[in-house]
Structure 1
Amino acid sequence: MRPSADPAAALRRMYVDTSPFSPAHLSLNAEVLGPERMLFGTDSPPMAAPLEDFVHMVEKLPVDAASQQLILGGNAQALFDLRSRP
């Protein structure tokens, strides 16, 4: 398959995770890619902080509650078709 000549099309296929423990990094990803391209991740084990800290960082993003739920699990369910699996 040839690389896309359209960088915007390539970005629409890219997903990032939340494992970089940086509020600025997460906010930039939310702004540039959108919450619908973010997957919750911790790089666990080992975790740099308690799991709750990672969740709180997502909850503090300047996005609505529905977008937070996408990041915390909805995007992964859709991307990996987890809803249809036992």
Structure 2
Amino acid sequence: MILWCAGLALATCYMFRLSVPYVSFEKNVDFLATKQNVYHIDYWRVAFYAHVFTSILVLPAGFTQFNKAFFPQGWHRRLGMIYILTVLL
């Protein structure tokens, strides 16, 4: 359990560290420097920043779904359906 928590904490810190450069919303930062041909598309930019900034929250939430102490039977499926609907909309 301690190893699992340490891995989760490390992965969350890593995602936070990867997300920090994008807080400036500049178009020449890291990965965005290679995406200049699509950066001007508003919905692409909104989707990119939503993806980057929610990754910090989604990672711990995803790990808890596999532990039955956190969520009773059936929650994983319901949350998965909500996730699919969110992505498709």
- What's the TM-score, normalizing by structure 1? 0.25
More strand by share: 1
- What's the TM-score, normalizing by structure 2? 0.24
Larger Rg belongs to? 2
